[in-house]
Structure 1
Amino acid sequence: MDKNNIIGFVLIALVLIGFTWYQQPSAEEQRAAFVQDSIAQVTKAKAEKQAKLAEAARQKAIKQAIAEDTTSLFYNALRGQAESIVLKNEKIELTLNTKGATVEKAVIKGFDDYKGNKEITLFDGEDQKLSYTLSAKETNISTSDLYFVPSAVTDSTVTFTAEAAQGKSLTIEYRLGADYMLHMKMYAEGMQGLFAPGTQTMDVNWKDKCRQQEKGFMFENRYATLTYHNTDGGTDYLSETSAEEDEPTEEKTDWIAFKNQFFSAVMIAKDNFDKGALLTSVPQEKGSGYLKQYEAKLKAFFDPSGNKPSEFEFYYGPNDFRLLKRVEKESAFGKELEMQRLVYLGWPLFRIINRWFTIYVFDFLTGLNINMGIVLILITLLLKFITFPMVKKSYMSSAKMRVLKPKLEAATAQYNKPEDQMQKQQAMMAEYSKYGVSPLSGCLPMLIQMPIWIAMFNFVPNAIQLRGQSFLWISDLSTYDPIIEWNSNIWLIGDHLSLTCILFCVSNILYSWMTMRQQRDQMVGQQAEQMKMMQWMMYLMPLMFFFMFNDYSAGLNFYYFISLFFSAAIMWVLRKTTDDEKLLKILEAKYEENKKNPKKMTGMIARMQALQEMQRQQLEKQRQQNRR
């Protein structure tokens, strides 16, 4: 890696930092935003109050209509007493309400929440609402207004029936599978005459206030998304950071997921949801106990004749890659659901690394029942072992440039003027070619490690196996590990200092120092002096990483820390075991061989030298024109 590479990386870092600073609003803009937020909060509070009053008025009107109108189609089903029916197995417990015949509470067993409770309550009571609206000729029938009569109740099954006048009824059947899947069928009986000919759809309205389940609100909120799967394949999701309301889908979808970092509620339709579904995701305030407010307004299949039921499946469970792949086999719909995409593994290149390497290694190591911190260390060692031959080759290229430094300085001594820098570069490239050295391979370690680093950046935060796992001083590898916390929020830092983040940044500084020293040792003339001036700029990157990663999971920071530690250790060992005198003799022998059998330069070096020669000629031509 030469001066130009370093300048490039420094400029990228400065652009990122400068853009972040530039994007910060001024004091006047902050005051205006505060006023707007205050107005928006007041408006929102008024709207919520009006909505509650409207709902109360609606319920009152329904009760009054029931009292006055005994000829209503669902007269008997519009009044009753709400009861709870519990379906459960070893992994989940679902509470269904006879009013509306939907799940009102979902408890996932075997997982602790951040408050210390031994089970995860995915939602409860008013946090989640699901209703089906049937648009008949004379009235709309909403299941949320009906009281259903339960029958055939077991730990895994229940049938809800809402009786209507003249032998008409609406029936909903539920069957809980062996783990986290709930199967549902809805069908009407004797109701075809109540609907317009050709009616084949019903409206589905699903709302959920996504609960905070982890200690790190900001980090968990990044991975809480309303996600959906297109029938033709591929998933999409709403923004994780900004509010999106009534966003229409462009294709038919077969499932909608209200997702947080490690758990999801998913609704799957056998006959798909129509395109144009309206989806909403609104981030909630820190300290509210909630991450997002989700809503999905959907159109699904409904046959008023009852010949074909409307079929849905619900998944209330963890975002576990292998488990989600099994869910597709447990589904009765025989569709390519791709629910494992709820575990985000990154863009295509990084997804391939995680999908076909990281997950298999991770599954093998976790199958040994060893501590998750040890698993991260072993994965790091394996990756270092795989990349070691390329890293060693890259280091040896840098070492060759280091031992050739005196010869390069002698060969380029006559080019000390600023206008001679192009010729100096050409002379250096020619000298490297004589000794069979490629200066381009110095960047190879970074190019090798960068895809792996980014792949792990996507994998570790989504690995539910790290959730709640302790290692050394870290109580939970899936969230931050504070050495100190405070109540107020400090800009860029937050309300805590994470120890693993500090270790990661310190190791990054150490590795940067070692790398810069190695590069300085191989630079010639003014390059070495310029490198000294740039050193302090190179330390800005670890500082920027601190502000970025202080809120990230301890597992991710720990992985980066040990990865850099081993990288520095490998570099130190290679430096100690390299005999510069022996290496110089090998290069001189290569030089003599090339002198006897000169070879034409090819590849990247030849193209670079040709480019430099073209630039030199252009500069010379420009100088001649200026003299005239």
Structure 2
Amino acid sequence: MDNQRNLLLAVALSGLLIIGWDFAMRTFYPEAALSSPAEQVEPAAQASAGGAPGTTTVAADLPEGAAAPAGPVDMSEALADPNRVVIDTPKLAGSINLVGAQIDDIVLKDYRQSVEKDSGPVRLFAPARTEDQYFAQFGFITGGEYMPSNAVWQASGDKLTPDTPVTLTRSGDDGLTYSIALSIDEDYMISATQSVANASEAAAIIQPFTLIDRTDKNASPDEFIVHSGPIGVFDGALQDGNNYEELTEIGRDVPAGNTDWLGFTDRYWLSALIPGEGATKEVGFRALDNGLFRSGVFYQAQTIPAGGSLTQSTRLFAGAKNSIVLDKYEDSGITYFGKAISWGWFEFIEKPFLWLLRTLNGLVGNFGVAIILLTVIVRGLMFPIAQKQFASMAGMKAVQPKMKAIQERYKDDKQQQQQEIMKLYKEEKVNPLAGCLPILIQIPIFFALYKVLMLAIEMRHEPFLYIRDLSGPDPATILNLFGYLPFEVPGFLGIGVLAVLLGVTMWLTFKLNPSAMDPMQQQIFNLMPWILMFVMAPFAAGLLIYWVTSNILTLAQQKYLYSKHPALKAQAEKEKAEMAKKKADEDKAKGKA
């Protein structure tokens, strides 16, 4: 009766866990099953033009704490005016708004918004006051006053490419001439040199600045292993402790130390400012009103004498978090730029895994097959460790009868008992910790594999068999007959083929393990595979492929190792029979009572 009650309790708690998990994921990470919402913006012309003067207002020229002007701007309207400079590189397309000198139109040519081939490229930057506003600006503060955001700049050319830099200029009535010389490389880096020439008869106080403003509406979820929000490296240390909600609470975050770079990160995308030489007054992050956020670099104001000039350089990264590209910039001198990817503690393991995954994908031409091969290789490398673990378990099983005799003989003298047991270990050449050490070694390895599959942009929108996107959940949900029935399956019931395979293979590994357990432990282990089936169903299909493959290899490994150590299995089966007999005797005694 007690065991039945415990089983019912375990089932009820499992149901609550499944429903609670689904509720928590929908509440705290409402888009967790999707790629970055930035991918879902309607495609706009890759190189189009901006609104007329006054249609956008950059929050930089607002008083402290003031809100941006109300009234949304339509994306097509904001990109409709020919008063723009086209951006065109092998990886980027878009335009520069000459109203306010804003870089507010960038799409990524290599990445689609969705799995649909005609969905258009991912939009990273969008003009101010559009629904998904996200833009950068290079500007000046003159005599304590921001340059008007509707100031119109003149361009030296009509297209910014790796071969054709562009300089924006603007002259004021005060005799000051401002210029922003822009160049761009083959990847995602824009270099800007801000200059001011003073042709007046009086000195001028000039403060250059550069900033990135964005809304959090199109941000990817901030999760335990994938950070989304403010990020930067200060004094050689990565700082990514705050998400957008936390930045809203504190209002402003100005990290101490020299700034290597700072910006905003999503799961797959990054915008970052890399300050050039020159003293800075303030560098950090700030929460504006209406869900807007800023990362900015404000340099120290300088006095330019009559006939003098000022020059300040800054770089802007706007693109995909491809580790090869980020590492290349890091090698060129940007400290820890590769850490914009949330590698965590096991980066030294994860990067070789990612390299191997890319290599396998290049060989077989399919990312799903590459994941399977990677799992096979890793499990193969771990096989000698598993052999040692089983050998240690076999040794421990062999000395169990002697250990029990010692424990019985010295049951009233614990100190002597421990001494005799240690002596037995030494004589039999067994180490009780040897069985645990392989498990401890495997934990960081398999966690590193998990993170690689979560973070690798290479897995995004990659197909495998019936799966169109390995970075998304398995689309073949069983309850609606794989989409043939016209209804949407609720989140926690959206069990796909891979999730079922995960549950079945895990259940088989537990059944194959002959370790003796008490009835309650046995019930928990019987339920766990099916609980994990529900919990893991919304995760990326690529992760489930890895886990299912790993379980199948575990089954094969256990079969082989038990065949090599029959005494281990026989001893465990004997203990299991003894435990079953003991349970039966207890039930019989309770029945008589």
- On whether the aligned pair clears a TM of 0.5, the verdict is yes
Q: Distance in 2 between matches of 1:302 and 1:372?
A: 52
For residue 298 of structure 1, report the CA deviation from its aligned partner.
3.2
Query: Quick one: which amino acid aligns to residue 128 of structure 1?
Result: Y
Tell me how far apart the structure 2 counterparts of residues 551 and 282 of structure 1 sit (CA, whole Å): 34
| Aligned with residue 394 of structure 1, among 373, 378, 389 | 389
Tell me the residue number matched to 2:354.
359
Distance in 2 between the 1:195 and 1:498 partners? 70
The offset of 1:323, in angstroms, is 1.1
Tell me the alpha carbon deviations over residues 266-308 of structure 1, each in whole angstroms, 9 at most, x when there is no partner: 2222137847534147999xxxxxxx85322431256563644
Query: Is structure 2 residue 323 aligned with structure 1 residue 321?
Result: yes
In the alignment, the residues of structure 1 paired with residue 241 and residue 524 of structure 2 have an alpha-carbon distance, to the nearest angstrom, of: 37
Q: Secondary structure at the match of 2:539?
A: coil
| 1:191-210 to 2 correspondences below 5 Å | 201-209=207-215
Deviation at 1:462, TM superposition (A): 1.0
Query: Which residue in 1 is equivalent to 2:32?
Result: none
Deviation at 1:318, TM superposition (A): 1.2
* Paired residues for 1:104-503 under 5 Å: 104-114=104-114, 116=116, 117-126=119-128, 127-132=133-138, 134-137=140-143, 140-142=145-147, 144-156=149-161, 157-165=165-173, 167-190=175-198, 201-209=207-215, 212=218, 222-230=226-234, 232-240=235-243, 242-245=245-248, 246-271=252-277, 274=280, 276-280=282-286, 293-300=292-299, 305=304, 307-328=309-330, 335-347=333-345, 350-355=346-351, 357-405=352-400, 431-484=424-477, 493=492, 496-503=494-501
Residue aligning to 2:557: 570
Please point out which of 522, 546, 549 is paired with 1:559: 546
What does the per-residue CA deviation read over 1:406-465, in whole Å, with 9 as the maximum and x for residues that have no partner? 5655666678x9x89998777666555443333332223421210112212222111111
- Range moving further from structure 2, 296-305 or 441-450: 296-305
Tell whether the 8 Å contact from 1:270 to 1:311 is kept in structure 2 after alignment. yes
Amino acid at match of 1:401: M
User: Which residue does the alignment assign to 1:44?
Assistant: none
| Unaligned residue ranges in structure 2 (runs of 5+) | 1-12, 25-65, 73-80, 481-486, 572-593
Aligned to 1:37: none
Q: Which amino acid aligns with 1:374?
A: V
Change (3 A) 1:224 1:115: farther
1:114 positional shift: 2.3
| Residue identity in the other structure for 2:340 | L
CA distance in 2, matches of 1:546, 1:173: 56
Deviation of 1:105 (Å): 0.5
In structure 1, the residue corresponding to 2:107 is in which secondary structure?
A: strand
Partner of 2:67: 51
Residue 133 of structure 1: how far off its partner (Å): 5.4
Tell me which amino acid in the other structure corresponds to 1:467: R
Cα distance in 2 for residues equivalent to 1:95 and 1:238: 33
Residue 365 of structure 1 deviates from its aligned partner by 2.0
Shift of 1:313: 1.6
Distance 2:181 2:523 in 1: 68
| Contact 1:397–1:441 (Cα < 8 Å) also in 2 | yes
CA distances 1:292-341 after superposition (whole Å, capped 9, x unpaired): 85322431256563644221222222101111122346xxxx63332211
User: Structure 2-normalised TM-score?
Assistant: 0.70
Give the SS at the match of 1:352.
Answer: helix
In the TM superposition, 1:588-603 aligns within 5 A as none
Matches of 1:254 and 1:192, distance apart in 2: 35
Contact 2:140–2:206 (8 Å) recurs in 1: no
Counterpart CA distance in 2 for 1:271 and 1:242 is 32
CA displacement 1:147-179 (0-9 Å, x = unmatched): 111223344222211121254211112122222
Query: Secondary structure, in 3 states, of the residue corresponding to 1:452?
Result: helix
Judge conservation of contact 1:253–1:274 (CA < 8 Å) in 2: no
CA apart distance, 1:545 = 4.7
3-state SS of 2:430 partner: coil
CA distance in 1, matches of 2:262, 2:279: 9
In the superposition, relative to structure 1, how do residues 84 and 461 fare at CA in structure 2: closer, same or farther (>3 Å)?
A: same
Question: Match for residue 86 of structure 1?
Answer: 86
Distance 1:502 1:212, change over 3 A: farther
How far has the Cα of 1:121 moved from its partner? 1.0
Residue-by-residue CA offset, 1:368-425 (whole Å, 9 max, x unaligned):
253111211222222222221121011022223345555655666678x9x8999877
SS in 2 for 1:99: coil
Q: Which amino acid aligns with 1:266?
A: A
- How far residue 90 of structure 1 moved from its aligned partner, in angstroms, is 2.1
**CA 1:340–1:393: 2 relative to 1, 3 Å:** same
In the other structure, the counterpart of 2:75 is none
Distance in structure 2 (CA, Å) of the matches to 1:193 and 1:540 = 83
Q: 1:250 to 1:193 in 2, by over 3 A?
A: farther
Cα 1:502–1:426 shift into 2, 3 Å: farther
Structure 1 Cα separation of the partners of residues 302 and 364 of structure 2: 51
- Secondary structure of the 1:480 match is coil
Q: Shift in Å at residue 123 of structure 1?
A: 2.2
C-alpha contact 1:203 1:297 (8 A) present in aligned 2: yes
Partner Cα distance (2:423, 2:141) in 1: 81
Quick one: structure 1 residues 302 and 563, their matched pair in 2 at CA, closer, same or farther if it must change by over 3 Å? Answer: farther
Alignment of 1:67-106 (within 5 A): 83-106=83-106
- SS for the counterpart of 2:179 is strand
Greater helix fraction, Structure 1 or Structure 2:
1
Q: CA deviation at 1:502?
A: 4.5
| Displacement after TM superposition at 1:467 (Å) | 1.0
For 1:514 and 1:561, locate their aligned partners in 2 and report how far apart those are by CA, in whole Å.
16
Looking at structure 2, the residues matched to 421 and 568 of structure 1 have their Cα atoms a distance apart, in angstroms, of 40
Q: Quick one: which of 501, 504, 525 aligns to 2:502?
A: 504
Matched letter for residue 317 of structure 1:
G
Q: Mark the runs of 5 or more structure 1 residues left unpaired by the alignment.
A: 1-13, 26-49, 57-80, 285-291, 521-527, 585-628
Paired residue secondary structure (2:558):
helix
Contact kept in structure 2, 1:130 and 1:144, CA below 8 Å: no
Residues in 2 aligned to 1:505 and 1:193: alpha-carbon distance in whole angstroms = 80
Q: Tell me, what secondary structure is at the counterpart of 2:551?
A: helix
Whichever residue aligns with residue 83 of structure 1, its letter is N
What is the SS of the residue equivalent to 1:125? coil
Structure label with greater radius of gyration: 1
1:31 aligned residue: none
Could you report, residue by residue, the CA deviation over 1:24-64 in whole angstroms, capped at 9, with x for unpaired residues?
A: 99xxxxxxxxxxxxxxxxxxxxxxxx9355799xxxxxxxx
Cα 1:201–1:136 change in 2 (3 A) is closer
CA contact (8 A) 2:104 2:126 kept: yes
* Alignment check: 8 A CA contact 1:221 1:260 kept: no
Q: Secondary structure at the match of 1:570?
A: helix
SS of the counterpart of 1:340?
helix
Amino acid at match of 2:126: D
Identity across aligned pairs (percent)?
22
Tell me if structure 2 keeps the 8 A contact 1:397–1:437.
Answer: yes
TM-score (norm 1): 0.66
* Closer, same or farther: CA 131–154 of 1 in aligned 2, 3 Å: closer
Give, in whole Å, the separation in 1 of the partners of 2:281 and 2:555: 53
Contact map agreement 1:222 1:241 (CA 8 A) in 2: no
